[in-house]
């Protein structure tokens, strides 16, 4: 379903890679946890699946297709088959829960009749059948994330990427969100979830892929969050805000780790992502509101592209039939 073939991503020349020599495959229908400290490369990995980030070296395949060979006009159709859920929900703030889900269908030209059937079905699936008229700010965090999941799933994507979806939620609420993702996975969607949620990982007993400094240091079927790598490297308990991170003597801790530290940690500790990433300086992280605004613009652009897409889709189809032996 998703395959990385010796993939390296370096954002800026001279900087260490965000993801390095990644060779990994996620099979259809799998549920995979991606764990690792902030800056270890989890989001970069996911964004490469969406073709939002282009690998510096290597090849990413999604559903058997080499993403570097997908022309830009076909990218919207790739993304249509991949649901995405974020830590900060990213709902459209002026649209109701119903309209947020409806929007995902409208932009791809779903007939009204189908929309009227699917949206209530999704609201019910996520347990919000009586809250469709609420605006995001009238919903709790957990409820907002349920709407975001409904929106991501309403097109029945074959892949759902969830980037720390429970990061802003209390443990009980997080459990409900995880159950929902598990249900979506049981219905056949491949789920890849980046998380710091130890309880979630331990409870689910699914495949765990652990990253340190852009490298996969563990890939375990039915794994737990618990790892041989020291807590100073896996900042599972650390809040994901750079202001805090600056106070933590991460490098000292890592260096004082003692002789029994595993090889993976030893190779990565001297270039700890916390200390060397521009994120740690606290200046490169985009404030949430900016992200949201950019997102709205993205959404509008996406809508335009998709509308244009609808026009070319027929032609494309004809072209596919003729030229693309599948």
CB nearer to Mg ion: give 91 or 194. 194
Least Cβ distance, residue 213 to ligand ADP (angstroms): 8
Of 39, 40, 3, 47, nearest to 23 (Cα)? 3
CA 37 vs. chain centroid, Å, equals 15
Of 180, 132, 131, 140, nearest to 160 (Cα)? 180
- Contact between 18 and ligand ADP per CB under 6 A: yes
Residues that bind ligand ADP (rule: CB under 6 A) add up to a total of: 15
- Beta-carbon contacts of residue 162 (< 8 Å; ≥ 6 apart): 84, 85, 181, 191, 192, 193, 194, 195
Strands 65-66 and 82-86 turn out to be unpaired
- Contact between 232 and ligand ADP per CB under 6 A: no
Q: Which of the listed partners (Mg ion, ligand ADP, none) does 213 bind, with a CB threshold of 5 to 8 Å by partner kind?
A: none
Question: Which neighbouring-strand residues pair with 190?
Answer: 159
Q: Which of 7, 30, 43, 128 binds Mg ion (CB under 5 A)?
A: 43
Give the tokens for residue 141.
């965090």
Least Cβ distance, residue 217 to Mg ion (angstroms): 17
Q: Which of 1, 32, 35, 38 binds ligand ADP (CB under 6 A)?
A: 38
CB nearer to ligand ADP: give 53 or 139. 53
Angle between helices 171-186 and 141-153 (to 10 degrees): 10
- Binding to ligand ADP by CB under 6 A, coded x per residue (else -) over 245-274, reads ----------------------------x-
- Contact between 51 and ligand ADP per CB under 6 A: no
Least Cβ distance, residue 86 to ligand ADP (angstroms): 11
- Contact between 11 and ligand ADP per CB under 6 A: yes
Q: Which of the listed partners (ligand ADP, Mg ion, none) does 277 bind, with a CB threshold of 5 to 8 Å by partner kind?
A: ligand ADP
- Contact between 55 and ligand ADP per CB under 6 A: no
- Contact between 36 and ligand ADP per CB under 6 A: yes
| Burial (Cβ within 10 Å: 0-12, 13-18, ≥19) of residue 15 | exposed
The count of C-alpha atoms lying within 13 angstroms of the C-alpha of 153, restricted to the half-sphere facing its C-beta, is 26
In this chain, which stretch among 38-46, 258-266, 277-285, 305-313 interacts with Mg ion, using CB under 5 A?
38-46
Place of tokens 């990213």: 90
SS3 of 211, please? strand
Buried b or exposed e, range 208-238, using 16+ CB within 10 angstroms: bbbbbbbbbbbeeeebebebebbebbbbbeb
In this chain, which stretch among 6-14, 34-42, 48-56, 284-292 interacts with Mg ion, using CB under 5 A?
34-42
Strands 19-26 and 31-35 turn out to be unpaired
In this chain, which stretch among 37-45, 64-72, 79-87, 302-310 interacts with ligand ADP, using CB under 6 A?
37-45
Question: Which neighbouring-strand residues pair with 62?
Answer: 2, 65
SS3 of 123, please? helix
- Contact between 120 and ligand ADP per CB under 6 A: no
Least Cβ distance, residue 227 to ligand ADP (angstroms): 15
- Contact between 285 and ligand ADP per CB under 6 A: no
Region at 92 (left for phi over 0; alpha for psi -120 to 50; beta for the rest) = beta
- Contact between 44 and Mg ion per CB under 5 A: no
Least Cβ distance, residue 43 to ligand ADP (angstroms): 3
Contacts with ligand ADP, residue ranges (CB under 6 A): 11-12, 18, 36, 38-44, 273, 277-279
């Amino acid at each position: 379903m998703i395959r990385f073939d010796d993939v390296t991503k370096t954002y800026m020349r001279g900087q260490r890679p965000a993801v390095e020599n990644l060779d990994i495959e996620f099979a259809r229908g799998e549920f995979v946890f991606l764990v690792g400290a902030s800056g270890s490369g989890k989001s970069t990995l996911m964004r490469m699946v969406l073709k939002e980030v282009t690998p510096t070296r290597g090849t990413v395949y999604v559903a058997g297709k080499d993403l570097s060979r997908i022309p830009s006009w076909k990218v919207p159709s790739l993304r249509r088959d991949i649901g995405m859920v974020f830590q900060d929900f990213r709902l459209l703030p002026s649209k109701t829960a119903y309209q947020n889900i409806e929007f995902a269908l409208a932009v791809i030209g779903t007939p009204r009749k189908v929309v009227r059937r699917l949206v209530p079905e999704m609201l019910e699936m996520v347990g919000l059948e009586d809250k469709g008229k609420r605006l995001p700010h009238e919903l709790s965090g957990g409820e907002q994330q349920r709407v975001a999941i409904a929106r991501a799933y309403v097109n029945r994507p074959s892949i759902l990427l969830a980037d720390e979806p429970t990061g802003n939620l209390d443990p009980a609420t997080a459990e409900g969100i995880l159950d929902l993702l598990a249900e979506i996975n049981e219905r056949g969607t491949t789920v890849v979830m980046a998380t710091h949620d130890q309880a979630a990982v331990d409870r689910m007993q699914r495949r765990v892929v652990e990253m340190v400094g852009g490298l996969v240091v563990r890939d375990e079927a039915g794994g737990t969050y618990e790892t041989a790598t020291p807590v100073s490297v896996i900042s599972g308990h650390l809040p994901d805000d750079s202001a805090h991170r600056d106070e933590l003597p991460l490098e000292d801790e890592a260096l004082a780790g003692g002789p029994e530290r595993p090889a993976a940690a030893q190779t990565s500790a001297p270039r700890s992502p916390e200390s060397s990433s521009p994120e740690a300086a606290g200046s490169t992280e985009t404030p949430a509101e900016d992200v949201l605004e950019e997102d709205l613009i993205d959404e509008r652009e996406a809508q335009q592209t998709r509308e244009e897409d609808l026009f070319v889709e027929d032609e494309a189809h004809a072209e596919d039939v003729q030229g693309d032996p599948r």
